[in-house]
């Protein structure tokens, strides 16, 4: 090898070795999904992992599902087991915020590192296809007659569907404390309960319920958005006469104790993934609204969410 070529090669190696690992090679991401398989968090996490690979932002993505307590059990495992790990992330969102507010756990999101908000999604309420219930008006009429006879199925206590049920009760003159809400550890369990007729009505993200609605196994009776979903005939609660609008967001946090540079590297990985074709396809398939937010703006958003959800849950009689 010529001397000048050798020196240039050595210089290149020296420069490359000074880069962070993420600049030299794709990261080996370890993703905690704080819910059982089959639900919204699981779908979001696995779609994000696929997008990271598609965008070549990561070389590998390893998933770990740990459901229960609105994601707080998984959060505790993540915080305790991944301190200082620059490649560890956890999927989180409004449901976990609600679970922290109601459960008051020792470990909270403040002990992890904010990375990014990635999506927003509204809930859909569904009934089994053979249910006599045709609309939210039927649900409300039964609830006003006998609140306990309406069994609401959904995610953990404090989830957005739980909050919506309590808000609806308040709007129609029913004591929200009488809402008969049945919490499940994950979307898969909630779906099974709805299909099995074990609850009167169930709620969840459109991404969790759409295949069953399209297959005719469930009937959608209302969505919690301001306007109807594009290309979807399901009426909103608002247009059925009930002023209840509530969105759900999902995001990513990193491990406790990582440096500012490591946080920036993880943020770059997530943002790069959200620009991939795989992610764009997932947004369209699951009716997810892109809602990327990072840095200080995301920090402030989460603080605001804790404040606003705490107020909403107090008014709904959940605190």
Q: What does 12-76 look like in DSSP terms, one character per residue?
A: HHHHHHTS-HHHHS-EEEEEEE-S-TTSHHHHHHHHHHHHHHHTTSEEEEEEEE---GGGHHHHH
**pLDDT of the residue at 25:** 54
Neighbours of 37 (CB within 10 A): 15
Q: The pTM is what?
A: 0.78
- Biggest alpha carbon–alpha carbon distance for the chain: 90
**pLDDT of the residue at 205:** 86
**pLDDT of the residue at 14:** 39
**pLDDT of the residue at 255:** 98
**pLDDT of the residue at 318:** 79
Q: What does 154-167 look like in DSSP terms, one character per residue?
A: ESSTT-HHHHHHHH
Neighbours of 132 (CB within 10 A): 7
Instruction: Give me the helix-helix angle, 277-286 and 206-214, nearest 10°.
Output: 60
pLDDT tens digits, one per residue of 5-42:
433 433 433 333 334 444 445 699 999 999 988 888 99
Strand partners, 89: 31, 254
DSSP structure class, residue 276: S
Asked if 207 contacts 40 with a C-beta cutoff of 8 angstroms, the reply is yes
Cα–Cα dist 203/118, whole Å? 21
**pLDDT of the residue at 292:** 97
- Pairing label, strands 151-154, 201-205: parallel
Strands (E), 191-242: 201-205, 218-223
Residues of the chain with confidence (pLDDT) below 50: 1-24
């Amino acid at each position: 090898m010529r001397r000048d070529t050798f020196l240039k090669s050595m210089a290149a190696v020296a420069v490359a070795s000074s880069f962070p690992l993420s600049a030299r090679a794709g990261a080996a991401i370890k993703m905690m999904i704080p819910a059982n398989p089959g639900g919204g968090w699981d779908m979001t996490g696995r779609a994000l992992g696929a997008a990271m690979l598609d965008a070549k932002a990561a070389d590998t993505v390893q998933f770990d599902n740990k459901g229960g307590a609105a994601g707080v059990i998984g959060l505790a495992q993540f915080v305790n087991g991944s301190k200082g790990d620059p490649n560890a992330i956890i999927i989180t969102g409004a449901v976990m915020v609600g679970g922290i507010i109601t459960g008051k756990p020792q470990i909270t999101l403040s002990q992890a590192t904010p990375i990014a908000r990635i999506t927003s999604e509204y809930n859909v309420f569904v009934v089994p296809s053979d249910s006599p219930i045709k609309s939210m008006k039927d649900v409300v009429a039964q609830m006003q007659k006998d609140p306990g006879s309406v069994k609401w199925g959904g995610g953990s206590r404090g989830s957005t569907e739980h909050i919506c049920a309590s808000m609806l009760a308040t709007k129609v003159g029913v004591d929200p404390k009488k809402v008969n809400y049945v919490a499940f550890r994950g979307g898969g369990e909630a779906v099974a309960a709805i299909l099995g007729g074990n609850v009167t009505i169930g709620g969840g993200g459109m991404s969790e319920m759409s295949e069953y609605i399209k297959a005719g196994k469930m009937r959608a009776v209302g969505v919690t958005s301001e306007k109807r979903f594009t290309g979807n005939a399901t009426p909103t609660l608002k247009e059925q006469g009930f002023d209840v609008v509530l969105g759900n967001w999902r995001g990513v946090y990193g491990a406790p104790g990582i440096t500012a540079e490591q946080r920036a590297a993880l943020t770059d990985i997530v943002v790069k993934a959200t620009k991939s074709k795989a992610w764009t396809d997932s947004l369209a398939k699951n009716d997810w609204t892109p809602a990327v937010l990072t840095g200080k703006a995301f920090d402030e958003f989460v603080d605001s969410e804790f404040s606003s959800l705490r107020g909403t849950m107090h008014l709904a009689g959940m605190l």
